[in-house]
């Protein structure tokens, strides 16, 4: 299955998404903020990144932009998973390079469906 990086400053969100991913047979890596997430993504080259937006140090929009503009990580799909539910937030997130946008709170099936949609063939 896939290696998926979860970047979120909420311990409960990290744990919840990690449990869902592991239940699906994926390997879950975690980072507590955007700076750590960008560094981990560059070092580990996961198959997918689930990125929160509202985080300290480097927010998810900034981290997504950094990863999608870096030739070593530009191929890695990023899904923004956030409480920011305005249409302008979604448009901005997609303009930063995200492949999908999921608003919290989400249900497990919504997350699973988005993962299937954005993961490269054969890894979902």
Weakly modelled stretches of the chain, pLDDT under 50? none
Q: What is the pLDDT of residues 30-44, one digit of tens each?
A: 999 999 999 999 999
Is residue 89 assigned to a domain? yes
Give the residue carrying structure tokens 């955007």.
34
In a domain, residue 46? The reply is yes
**Alpha carbons 35 and 23: distance in angstroms, whole number:** 27
Q: Is residue 94 within 8 Å of 61, Cβ to Cβ?
A: no
Question: pTM for this one?
Answer: 0.96
Q: Encoding tokens for residue 13?
A: 């969100």
Partners of 49 in the β-ladder: 5, 78
Predicted local distance difference test score (pLDDT) of residue 103: 96
Q: Residue 103: inside a domain, yes or no?
A: yes
Q: Does residue 47 form part of some domain?
A: yes
Q: What is the pLDDT of residues 59-74, one digit of tens each?
A: 999 999 999 999 999 9
Q: Please check whether residue 15 lies inside any domain of the structure.
A: no
Do residues 119 and 48 lie in contact, with contact meaning Cβ atoms separated by under 8 Å?
yes
What does the pLDDT read at residue 51?
A: 98
19 belongs to a structural domain: no
Asked if residue 111 is part of any domain, the answer here is: yes
Return the CATH number at 107: 3.40.50.2300
Count of domains forming the chain:
1
Say what the pLDDT of residue 124 is.
67
The two counts, helices (H) then strands (E), for the chain are 5, 5
- For the chain, the DSSP string reads --EEEEE-S-HHHHHHHHHHHHHTT-EEEEESSHHHHHHHHHHH--SEEEE-SS-SSS-HHHHHHHHHTSTTTTTS-EEEEES---HHHHHHHHHTT-SEEEESS--HHHHHHHHHHHSPTTT-
What is the pLDDT at residue 7?
A: 98
Range of the domain at 34: 30-117
In a domain, 1, yes or no: no
């Amino acid at each position: 299955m896939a290696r998926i990086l979860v970047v979120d400053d909420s311990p409960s969100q990290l744990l919840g998404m990690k449990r869902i991913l592991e239940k699906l047979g994926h390997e879950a890596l975690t980072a507590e903020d955007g700076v750590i997430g960008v560094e981990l993504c560059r070092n580990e080259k996961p198959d997918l990144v689930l990125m929160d937006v509202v985080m300290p140090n480097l927010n998810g929009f900034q981290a997504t932009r950094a990863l999608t503009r870096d030739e070593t990580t530009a191929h890695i799909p990023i899904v923004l998973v956030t409480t920011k539910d305005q249409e302008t937030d979604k448009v901005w997130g997609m303009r930063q390079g995200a492949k999908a946008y999921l608003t919290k709170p989400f249900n497990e099936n919504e997350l699973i469906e988005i993962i299937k949609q954005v993961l490269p063939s054969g890894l979902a």
